[in-house]
Structure 1
């Protein structure tokens, strides 16, 4: 069970409305309904009913609601305690925050973390997903001192200078490019190449913490494809689920996504578009000038610089 489903359920009960809860969570109402259907199916019981008072919990739902509040409250307390676990400079057992765009966090979780464990690295990474704009704000505000992102090749210099202005170094790690991701059940997934007119007919899901502000890279792709239907979701996992369920297409960095669980298990396929090279990009490691990093953070930067590009993607 995914913890985010418990959070969604609490928001629905407290707002007594799917629409209001979806707005708070930056989800579409259908996506939230699907999430609750999945939770009810997993628990094997009805949790919510509609009444003249709005959406209210059933008898079972009321019990689950109280348990969810307790679980989420305890989790918040644990997270606050975990923030104090960072050991003194250079000691073992440190927890290092790392903020990245959703695809980068997934790549690190799938590829880099297992490498760190295999080499008995005692440092733990606390991964935080963020849109490109939120990533910049998180680094500038000091919430994290290491970041991972991707720059479209024709914007590299401008973006690098932007981070240098807040005293962050930027190093290119590996080349990548974007592709369209489809459910393996979609008829177009059988094609080796997609045509632009086929992309225009697809609904797309994108990561956004604000329905009015999808990231600039997706906006460029949407304009190229002339996309008409867009779903705005607040986590990469929600997007991948929607794609796997054949409810939308996605637009992700190809190499950075090749080891995603849905892709590795054949539920989602990446496809290029005929005659179009989709926004060639580079993965970048960002870190605060080294004198400002502690020993654990310097070790993470060194490990990422050495191993990030060497982590081989799974074959398609």
Structure 2
């Protein structure tokens, strides 16, 4: 059974006459009658009561007539639906760790959306480790994280090495000093790190920044989010190492200090699937490179 036969059948059923149906379909009667015969043979039951005037449908014909218009309407909508899907599937999903939002990433998103108004863009907050699984499962298209991880299925690109700075309670004795702060001063404090899980994470980078200088924190307090860490800093629970761009977040009760130690950084890493080279993804990555290069 094909759509053409269904259209022929509906015309005959509605006109209740083969001749009028043929005129409506702009064809002659013999091929129309032949198509109805083929349709009945395929279904295995008669659809019309032959000899009835006007032409009547059998019970099977009535059942088919109830369903056929809906099938045709759905079929007629397939082409525009496919075009619509093509438009909506021109979408890109971005995964990001929260700290990257304080850098150029919002500008990248704005610039990309302005350049490609026909592409749907979604963003999902997720840890760096989660981004690896999400990329491989195609839940996201591009990820922005801070952890270096090797995977043959993923292409990773370091967009920037962002300096770390210290976040201190505003009441801390070192808060008002304007000179760069040595890491050794932080090692005497409780260091608040985030996220505690999953690991490895940015928390390990904070701890490594101290241990790379042969420093061991007095104590380590793990939390899950940047905002929580800054809240505990303001509450004088401890101090925290944060990316420089976070200084744009004016958290009440928190003072940011530059570090005296050089090369205390955290990378911003853009990741995508190795074999995924869609036009939208390529463009987004190009825009990201441009903005992050200016950090």
**Match for 1:139 among 135, 139, 143?**
135
Structure 2 residue ranges without an equivalent (≥5): 1-83
Are 2:99 and 1:103 aligned? yes
Distance 1:141 1:92 in 2: 20
Are 2:288 and 1:304 aligned? yes
CA drift at 1:293: 4.9
TM-score normalised by length of structure 2: 0.56
CA drift at 1:117: 6.0
CA drift at 1:205: 1.6
Distance 2:105 2:188 in 1: 33
Cα 1:148/1:251, change in 2 over 3 Å: same
Partner of residue 271, structure 1: 258
Partner of residue 268, structure 2: 283
Distance 1:127 1:108 in 2: 17
- For residues 107-186 of structure 1, what are the structure 2 equivalents within 5 Å? 107=103, 110-116=106-112, 121=117, 123-130=120-127, 132-150=128-146, 159=148, 162-163=150-151, 165-166=152-153, 168-186=154-172
Distance 2:282 2:222 in 1: 36
What is the aligned-residue RMSD (CA, Å)?
3.4
**Match for 2:217 among 218, 222, 227?**
227
CA drift at 1:209: 4.4
Are 2:204 and 1:216 aligned? yes
Are 2:231 and 1:244 aligned? no
Q: Deviations over 1:251-282 (max 9, x none)?
A: 1222x4243343xx894313204xx3243454
**Given that residues 194 and 224 in structure 2 are in contact (C-alpha distance below 8 angstroms), is that contact kept between their aligned partners in structure 1?**
yes
SS in 1 for 2:217: coil
CA drift at 1:173: 2.0
**Given that residues 230 and 254 in structure 2 are in contact (C-alpha distance below 8 angstroms), is that contact kept between their aligned partners in structure 1?**
no
Partner of residue 199, structure 1: 186
CA drift at 1:146: 0.8
Cα 1:196/1:283, change in 2 over 3 Å: closer
Cα 1:186/1:118, change in 2 over 3 Å: farther
CA drift at 1:233: 1.5
Structure 1 residue ranges without an equivalent (≥5): 1-86, 152-158
CA drift at 1:304: 1.5
Distance 1:308 1:88 in 2: 33
**Match for 2:246 among 257, 268, 275?**
257
Distance 2:253 2:225 in 1: 21
